[in-house]
Amino acid sequence: MELVPANQRDDLAAWFNLYMGLEAGANATNTVLAKKRDLTSFLDFFMLATGCTEADLWTRSVTGDFLKGLQAKKKSPTTVNRVLATLRHAGRWIHQHRPFLAGNPTERISDVRVDDPEWKGLTPIEITRLKAAAEQLVYVRRRSNQRPFRDLAILFVLLRTGLRVSELLCLDLDQYQGKHFINVQRKGRKVSRAVFLACEGREALDEYLKNERGPAPGPLFLSRSGGRLARQHVDAALKVIARQANSRLPDIQKINLHAHVLRHTCLRKAAEKHGVQYAMELSGQSSERYIWRYVQPSTEQKEAVLDNLF
């Protein structure tokens, strides 16, 4: 079977398009978009460097110089490594079907060294402040176009499940089965048959269903217009909660709240109480490589341990 027309067999852009359609298309929407951005960025560099899209001009040196350019633009090591992972997969796949003249152009190119990231989570007192703020807003935000019960439920569900915001927003009402969300689509192709929701999360979600959403089928979290809630709406809701919590705090104590910090907090607590393996299962990750960014001790904790080691 001819993968690309004969007159495009040497066109790298045509192979990237085919790769996205056949290989990357099975991934989650956000993953597909990220891969597309990575390949488009590389193709722009490739055309600037070579003046064309002839596939055989893609060599290891081109890949390496593209990555150096990303670093020069102050892209983080994790971003550079993610782009490299996209190029590796695409380059290997193309090379299997249409060998490059100089060999696989991503071979023997190493990841950029990543320093241990600082843990991005909430302290117990910060969690208390955010919960109290969200509960206060139920009585403060009374206009018909405001959704304080929904926003409270979002806070508690993210904090109590460790779901990614993309996973939360894909949920439909019929997936909520009392104590669990069922058949939850995780990042990539993984599906969790049941994700447990703790009592305070269920209480907040039930209040949202009773007071704002109602029983109609469809997305679990609705926008003001009745459609599926978007990521920017979650960001805005969490900012309102943080602003309420921060209103009487000095600048040094103000909380920077976003969905991912709630995931970090949940997984860290799970690892501390039940071990890394449990936290990895809760996270929906398929590799131990990524769970450590969520569960490693903070600088302050490591210093405290050393202070009390002997």
Q: 50: domain CATH number?
A: 1.10.150
Report helix, strand or coil for 125.
helix
Work out the angle at residue 162's Cα, subtended by the Cα atoms of residues 158 and 166, and round it to the nearest 5 degrees.
Answer: 70
Which H or E element spans position 182? strand 180-185
Last residue of one domain, picked from the residues 81, 97, 113? 97
> What does the DSSP 8-state code read for residue 24?
G
Q: Are residues 131 and 83 both part of a single domain?
A: no
Q: Are residues 137 and 245 both part of a single domain?
A: yes
CATH number at residue 223: 1.10.443.10
Q: Give whole-number Cα distances, 33 to 3, 20, 280, in Å.
A: 23, 10, 25
The answer as to whether 116 is a domain residue is no
Mean pLDDT in residue range 160-166: 94
Q: Are residues 145 and 254 both part of a single domain?
A: yes
Q: Are residues 129 and 259 both part of a single domain?
A: yes
What is the percent of the chain with per-residue pLDDT over 70, rounded to a whole number?
90
Gap between the Cα atoms of 287 and 263, Å rounded = 17
Both tokens assigned to 7: 């007159």
Q: Are residues 56 and 182 both part of a single domain?
A: no
Residue range 21-31, pLDDT digits in tens: 886 555 556 77
Position 168 pLDDT exceeds 70: yes
| Stretch among 74-88, 130-144, 148-162, 286-300 having the lowest mean pLDDT | 286-300
Amino acid present at 83? V
Range of 48's domain?
6-97
Which H or E element spans position 240? helix 231-246
Residue/partner pairs of 46-50 with CB below 8 Å, 24 or more apart: 46/12
Report helix, strand or coil for 96.
helix
At residue 298, the pLDDT reads: 65
State the total domains in the chain: 2
Q: Which one is predicted more confidently, 87 or 188?
A: 87
Contact (CB, 8 A) for 169 and 159: no
Q: Are residues 86 and 200 both part of a single domain?
A: no
The answer as to whether 106 is a domain residue is no
Mean pLDDT in residue range 200-229: 95
Q: Are residues 61 and 172 both part of a single domain?
A: no
| Stretch among 30-44, 103-117, 126-140, 275-289 having the lowest mean pLDDT | 275-289
Mean pLDDT in residue range 169-182: 95
Gap between the Cα atoms of 55 and 241, Å rounded = 51
Burial-class residue 300 by CB neighbours within 10 Å (0-12, 13-18, 19+).
exposed
Position 195 pLDDT exceeds 60: yes
Position 85 pLDDT exceeds 70: yes
Burial 111-138 (b: 16+ CB within 10 A, else e): ebeeeeeebbbbeeebbebbbebbbbbb
pTM of the model: 0.68
At residue 214, the pLDDT reads: 95
CB atoms within 10 A of CB 29: 9
Mean pLDDT in residue range 12-28: 80
Which range is most confident: 58-62, 266-270, 273-277, 286-290?
Answer: 58-62
Q: Which one is predicted more confidently, 287 or 124?
A: 124
Q: Are residues 142 and 92 both part of a single domain?
A: no
At residue 286, the pLDDT reads: 60
Q: Are residues 181 and 83 both part of a single domain?
A: no
Q: Are residues 29 and 129 both part of a single domain?
A: no
Q: Give whole-number Cα distances, 31 to 42, 64, 151, 187, 195, in Å.
A: 17, 23, 26, 8, 22
The answer as to whether 109 is a domain residue is no
Which H or E element spans position 192? strand 191-196
Q: Which one is predicted more confidently, 141 or 292?
A: 141
Contacts of 278 (CB under 8 A, 6+ apart): 270, 271
Scanning 51-147, the segments in alpha helix (DSSP H) are 60-72, 77-97, 124-140
Q: Are residues 232 and 172 both part of a single domain?
A: yes
Q: Are residues 160 and 251 both part of a single domain?
A: yes
